[in-house]
Amino acid sequence: MNFSSIIALSKKHISAVVSIVVILACCAFSLLKLGEIDVLESQERDLSIEYGRVMKNLKYGNALTEDLASIEVLIEDAESRLFEVKDLAKNYDYFYTLEAKTGVTIAAMRQLSPKPIDARSRQNRKRRKAKYSSIGYDISVVGTFSQVVNFLRSLEGGAAHYNMGKLLIRQGKSKGESSQVEVNIGINMLGRKI
């Protein structure tokens, strides 16, 4: 079969030849555009997800400005009641005020120095992330049972953020003060991070 016979055959079946050319052109076009629509569809999917997220954030974020303002007020109030590690006099004054209010006698009081942070420990990693620090105190108090209970209640319900770690109560040693009790309290007060 030579070229002229192919031409002759083509002329004879012109519609079939044109169809084959169209089919081949379509195949080439398809190959060129292969995957294009998938990419567009995936883009559309991503955008519609983003649009949904935007709409949801806008819907639920309606009252955020008011919420933010009210939480700012709360934070301001709560932070005004934090201890400052370096402000020893003010910190001690907090306890002495409670002493005067409840009638106990603070026999000894010591602010503990913050423990150094070991980055390897999980607890300390948490401490690093914390916004506030915990300031430890060892306080020895002498008073009657009811005075001591009142002192503890004042600590628990006081302005400062308090957490009791340990508590030791013994009967007063002096014979004349048999109704007195000696209390040793280990507490942590929430303070500003250094």
Partner 1 sequence: MKVLSKKVEVAGIGWRPDFRDHESLPDIKVVRTSFFVSVAFMAIAVGFVAFLGFREFQKTGVEESISSLRVEIDSRRVEHTSRVDANRAFMERYSRIDEMKSTRADQMIGSDLLMSVGESLSPSMVLTMLAYSNDGIDLEGTMDVGAKEASELMDRYISTLKENEADQGRFQNYDIMSIQREGSLMVFKLSISGSVESKK
Q: How far is the CB of 2 from partner 1 (least distance, A)?
A: 21
Compute the distance between CA of residue 126 and CA of residue 40 in angstroms, rounded to an integer: 44
Q: How far is the CB of 102 from partner 1 (least distance, A)?
A: 11
Q: What letter does residue 100 receive in the DSSP assignment?
A: H
Which amino acid appears at position 157 of this protein? G
Residue 138 neighbours by CB distance under 10 Å:
15
Q: How far is the CB of 20 from partner 1 (least distance, A)?
A: 6
Q: With H, G, I as helix, E, B as strand and everything else as coil, classify residue 126.
A: helix
Compute the distance between CA of residue 172 and CA of residue 11 in angstroms, rounded to an integer: 124
Q: How far is the CB of 55 from partner 1 (least distance, A)?
A: 8
Q: How far is the CB of 176 from partner 1 (least distance, A)?
A: 17
Nearer to partner 1, 115 or 153 (CB): 153
Nearer to partner 1, 71 or 88 (CB): 71
CB under 8 A, 24+ apart: contacts of 154-158: 154/98, 154/101, 154/102, 155/98, 155/185, 155/187, 158/94, 158/98
Residues at the site binding partner 1, with contacts judged by CB under 8 A: 12-13, 15-16, 18-20, 22-23, 26-27, 29-30, 33, 36-37, 40-41, 43-44, 47-48, 50-51, 54-55, 57-58, 61, 64-65, 67-68, 71-72, 74-75, 78-79, 130-132, 134, 145, 148-150, 152-153, 155-156, 161-171, 185, 188, 190
